[in-house]
């Protein structure tokens, strides 16, 4: 029997090879803080991680997780939608971000009706392309199997297909053949 690896684990594996101490990263959807802490560990205390979420519960959970591991000093959390990245992150950091991680959907363990929205996600992705350093990565875990996730995933597919192939490469990883299966997009700025 073949053991299936989760898309989040695959994203982490790719990110581990890409991020180094001292780098800058963004967790576009902090959720319960697992990805934010993962990024903070990789960039270490000489790097910086910015995190975004629209739910106070997510920000509080993430802050608590970071503090418990002494990573609160190299992180900055925003109780804000990810489509406000360009506004929230100081201009001096624009064009210096090595990695931007999106884990879309809803906050595990909370109200499943509060989900990432297609329009704000597409705006955030456009902003992410401007924040990235050359050779920077965007990872997007998308979940078409829940209400609203199908529309968001389809929009992301269309969005990445219109990217200039001279400036960005795109890889798609599907967790299975099912149309509703989660998928991971890796976008690299060339």
Query: The whole model's pTM is what?
Result: 0.93
Q: Where are the domains of the chain?
A: 7-189
Q: What percent of the chain has pLDDT over 70?
A: 92
Check if CATH label 1.10.760.10 holds for domain 7-189.
no
Distance CA 39, CA 24 (A): 9
Q: Which carries the bigger pLDDT value, residue 130 or residue 108?
A: 130
pLDDT tens digits, one per residue of 71-97: 999 999 999 999 999 999 999 999 999
Q: Three-state SS string across 102-135, please?
A: EECCECCCCCCCCECCHHHHHHHHHHHHHHEEEE
Compute the average pLDDT of residues 8-13: 92
Determine which helix (DSSP H) or strand (DSSP E) holds 40, and give its type and residue range.
helix 34-43
Compute the average pLDDT of residues 52-76: 95
Pairing of strands 24-27, 183-189: unpaired
CA 178 to mean position of chain CA atoms: 23
Distance CA 96, CA 85 (A): 13
Query: Is 118's pLDDT higher than 70?
Result: yes
């Amino acid at each position: 029997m073949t053991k299936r690896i989760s898309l989040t684990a695959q994203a982490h594996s790719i990110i581990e090879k890409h991020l180094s101490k001292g780098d800058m990263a963004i967790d576009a959807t902090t959720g319960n803080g697992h990805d934010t802490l993962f990024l903070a560990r990789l960039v270490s205390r000489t790097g910086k991680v910015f995190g975004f979420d629209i739910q106070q519960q997510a920000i509080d959970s993430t802050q608590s997780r970071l503090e418990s591991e002494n990573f609160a000093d190299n992180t900055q959390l925003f109780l804000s939608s990810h489509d406000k990245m360009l506004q929230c992150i100081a201009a001096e950091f624009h064009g210096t971000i090595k990695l931007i991680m999106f884990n879309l959907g809803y906050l595990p363990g909370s109200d499943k009706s509060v989900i990432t929205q297609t329009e704000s996600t597409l705006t955030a992705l456009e902003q992410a392309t401007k924040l990235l350093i050359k050779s920077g990565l965007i990872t997007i875990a998308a979940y078409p199997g829940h209400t609203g996730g199908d529309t968001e995933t389809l929009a992301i597919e269309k969005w990445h297909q219109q990217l200039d192939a001279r400036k960005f490469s795109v890889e798609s990883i599907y967790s299975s053949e099912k149309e509703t299966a989660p998928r991971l997009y890796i976008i690299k700025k060339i």
